Amino acid sequence: MKKAFPAEFFYQLFALLIAFILVHALYVTLVRPQADVFLQQQAAEMQDNPDYVQQRSFYVVIKDYEQESCFVLMLWALAILAYKGRAVYLQQKLLE
């Protein structure tokens, strides 16, 4: 006898897929290009001025794959929390 997958499994699977697509698209279009431009500007400034103190940029801090995966997991966890919160709300509504 075949057992069907529960709806929660598919919700979590698609939530992970959507979170990955959204975060990766944001990284490809915004974060990594901005970080590259900033790093090139900083390198040029350090070439011209040896006393230059390099500045920090938010894009440079979050440009790596580890930070990208953290954002994906954060969005996935928030989606799961929203699903569980909705389930709790519906169960409490039944008790009223």
Residue 4 maps to a domain: no
**Residue 90 counted as domain residue:** yes
Assess if residue 42 is contained within a domain: yes
Among 63, 70, 68, 43, smallest CA distance to 54 is for 43
**What are the pLDDT tens digits along the chain (96 aa)?**
466 668 899 999 999 999 999 999 999 999 999 999 999 999 999 999 988 888 999 999 999 999 999 999 999 999 999 999 999 999 999 998
Evaluate whether residue 43 is within a structural domain. yes
How many distinct structural domains can be found in the chain? 1
pLDDT tens figures, 40-62: 999 999 999 988 888 999 999 99
**Residue 40 belongs to a domain:** yes
Residue 74 lies in a domain: yes
**pTM listed for this prediction:** 0.84
Domain containing 17: what range?
A: 9-95
Instruction: Give the Cα separation of 56 and 61 in Å (integer).
Output: 8
Dihedral angle computed from the Cα positions of residues 13, 67, 34 and 61, in that order, rounded to the nearest 10 degrees: 160
Q: Is residue 81 part of a domain?
A: yes
